Amino acid sequence: MAIRTTLPLGGLSQFTAAPKAPRLSLRGMWRALQTRRQLAEMDDRMLRDIGISRVDALREADRLPWDLIPRP
């Protein structure tokens, strides 16, 4: 008895691949902590130069170290 499939050539590989999540490494979390701290310490002129408002800078600085997914 033969097993019939309706899957395209290549089998299940295209259906089982999960989207890649950001790697949670200690180095990445430490870097996020450092850069968010630096962002919070910037004055209004520096924030204006990079196009970020004070509210956005403080919101980013308040994020948890393991929250590494970019936000819009």
Q: What is the pLDDT of residue 16?
A: 59
- The model's confidence at residue 53, banded by pLDDT at 50, 70 and 90, is very high
Decide if 3 is inside a domain.
Answer: no
Decide if 4 is inside a domain.
Answer: no
Other CB atoms closer than 10 Å to residue 44's CB: what's the count? 10
- 4-43 pLDDT, tens digit per residue, is 656 555 555 555 556 666 567 889 899 999 999 999 999 9
- State yes or no: pLDDT of 67 exceeds 80: yes
Q: What is the pLDDT of residue 70?
A: 79
Residue 36: domain span: 23-61
Rounded to an integer, what distance in angstroms lies between the CA atom of residue 53 and that of residue 44? 8
- State yes or no: pLDDT of 54 exceeds 90: yes
Residue 37 CA: distances (Å) to CA of 14, 22, 60: 41, 21, 9
Decide if 41 is inside a domain.
Answer: yes
Please give the structure tokens belonging to residue 68.
Answer: 């590494």
Q: What is the pLDDT of residue 71?
A: 76
Decide if 34 is inside a domain.
Answer: yes
Q: Which residues make Cβ contacts (< 8 Å) with residue 32, sequence separation at least 6?
A: 63, 65, 67, 68
Decide if 32 is inside a domain.
Answer: yes
